[in-house]
Amino acid sequence: MQVNMQSLKIFLTVVETGSLSAAARELYMSQPSVSAHVRQLETSLSARLLDRGPSGAATTAAGDVLAERARDVLELLDALDDDVAEAQGRADQRLALGGTSTLGNYLLPRVLSRFQESHSLVPGRGVRAELRVGNAEQVTSWVLAGEVSVALMAGEVSHEALVCQPIFDEAMVLVSAPTHRLAGRVAGPEDLTSERFILREVGSATRQQQEEALEAWNLAQAPAWTVWGSEAAGEAVRSGLGLALVSEHVVARDLRSGDLARIRIQPAPARRPVTLVTLALGRLTPVEEQFVHLLTNTTSWPVG
C-alpha cells in the first residue's frame, strides 16, 4: 500500500471544507484534480472514503478513520521538520527565493536589502538566504519541486498547484542603440518594418510578451534573433544588433546614462503584472512569511 502525502493533504482539505469544489478553491486546483487525488487514495486503501452528494462530500466510516490518522501523521511530520531544523541550528531561518530574470536580477536584491534593514539582520547570522534566477519555466519547476518557497515572476501565472498573486505591474519599453534613426522619437509599427528584433529565449515571460506585441503591431514575421538572458539582450541592442522590447527596469540605468535610447512606440505595449508565487500546499518558514508580507505591501518598484 502506498499513500501519497499530497493526496492525503488534499483529502483532509476536502473533509475540512465539506466539498470537493470548496477544497479546489482553497487549494487553487481544479475540481477534477482534487477528485483524482481522492480516487487515488481510495484505490490505494481499497476503501470508499467519501459519499458524494448534492450538498457536498461526507466521510464514510473509513474516511473518518483516515482523516483522524492523517492529522496525526501530518502533525508528526511537521514536528519532525522542526526538530531536525532545530538540531541543525537553523530552525525557521530559511529564506529560499526565486525570480524570473528581470525580477531576480533587478528587484529581489533591493527588496532583500529592505528586508535586512527592517529586521536588523546581521550578515552571517541567523537567516540563510538563497536567491535563484532563471526563466519562467525554470522558476516554476523550482517552486513545484520545493527548492524555492517564494518566487516573483513576470506576467500572468496560472498553475493548479501554485498560489499566484499579482502585486503590481510594470511597463514594457522598446529600446535601441543611441545612434539608431528612431532613437528618442515617437514611432508607429509601420516605421519598424525593416528592423530586426532581439528576443529572449523560449520559456521566458519576456519572450511571450515580445511575441504578443509584435503580433499586435503586425510584425510577427519581422527578422528576429534569440538571445538568452536580459543582460545579453541589452548588450545586443547596445551593439546595434536590433531593437528589443523589455521591462522598463532592465534598461533604466542604460537610458539614464545614454547607453540606450527609447523609441516611444504607439500603440504602447500592454503593461505586465509582477506575480508572487508560492506552493499551494507548501509550508513557509516564519522568515519567508515575513518576506511575503513585505512583498505584498510593495505597491511599486523600489527605487535603487
Q: What is the pLDDT of residue 301?
A: 63
User: What is the percentage of the chain residues whose pLDDT exceeds 70?
Assistant: 90
Residue 288 has pLDDT above 60, yes or no: yes
Residue that is written with C-alpha cell 519576456 in the block: 206
Q: What are phi and psi of 124, to 5 degrees?
A: 85, -5
Written out in words, the top-level CATH class of the domain with range 5-87 is: mainly alpha
Tell me, yes or no, if the two domains 5-87 and 94-169+273-296 fold the same way. Answer: no
3-state secondary structure 100-162: EHHHHHHHHHHHHHHHHHHCCCCCCCCCEEEEEEECHHHHHHHHHCCCCCEEEEECCCCCCCE
CA distance 240 to 237: 5
- Exposure pattern of 270-279 as b/e (b: 16+ CB <10 Å)? eebbbbbbbb
* Least-confidence region, from 2-16, 204-218, 265-279: 2-16
Per-residue model confidence as pLDDT tens digits over 24-77: 888 878 888 888 888 888 888 888 888 887 778 888 998 898 888 888 888 887
Q: What is the pLDDT of residue 122?
A: 46
Q: What is the pLDDT of residue 8?
A: 83
Per-residue model confidence as pLDDT tens digits over 145-169: 888 999 999 888 888 889 999 988 8
Model pTM? 0.60
Instruction: Choose among 168, 136, 170: nearest CA to 269.
Output: 170
Residue 170 has pLDDT above 70, yes or no: yes
Instruction: Choose among 85, 89, 78, 87: nearest CA to 126.
Output: 89
**pLDDT-derived band of residue 89, with 50, 70 and 90 as boundaries?**
very low
Average pLDDT in the 196-201 region?
94
The grid coordinates of residue 295 equal 512583498
Greatest Cα-to-Cα distance within the chain, rounded to the nearest angstrom: 76
What are the residue boundaries of the structural domains of the chain, listed by start?
5-87, 94-169+273-296, 172-270
Name the average pLDDT for the chain: 85
CA distance 50 to 129: 42
Q: What is the pLDDT of residue 124?
A: 47
Give just the sign of the alpha carbon dihedral 236, 237, 241, 246.
Answer: positive
Point out which residues pair with 168 in neighbouring strands: 274
Q: Are 160 and 303 in contact (CB under 8 A)?
A: no
Please list, in sequence order, all residues whose beta carbon lies within 8 angstroms of the beta carbon of residue 121, skipping any fewer than 6 positions away. 115, 127
The grid coordinates of residue 140 equal 516554476
Average pLDDT in the 128-132 region?
87
Q: Which CATH superfamily is domain 172-270 in?
A: Periplasmic binding protein-like II (3.40.190.10)
Q: What is the pLDDT of residue 223?
A: 95
Q: Dihedral through CA 235, CA 240, CA 245, CA 247, nearest 10?
A: 30
Q: What are phi and psi of 266, to 5 degrees?
A: -125, 130
Q: What is the pLDDT of residue 126?
A: 62
The grid coordinates of residue 233 equal 539582450
CA distance 217 to 245: 12
**pLDDT-derived band of residue 110, with 50, 70 and 90 as boundaries?**
confident
Written out in words, the top-level CATH class of the domain with range 94-169+273-296 is: alpha beta
Instruction: Choose among 100, 240, 96, 95: nearest CA to 170.
Output: 100
Q: What are phi and psi of 244, to 5 degrees?
A: -140, 140
Per-residue model confidence as pLDDT tens digits over 218-274: 999 999 999 998 888 989 999 999 999 998 888 888 999 999 999 999 988 988 888
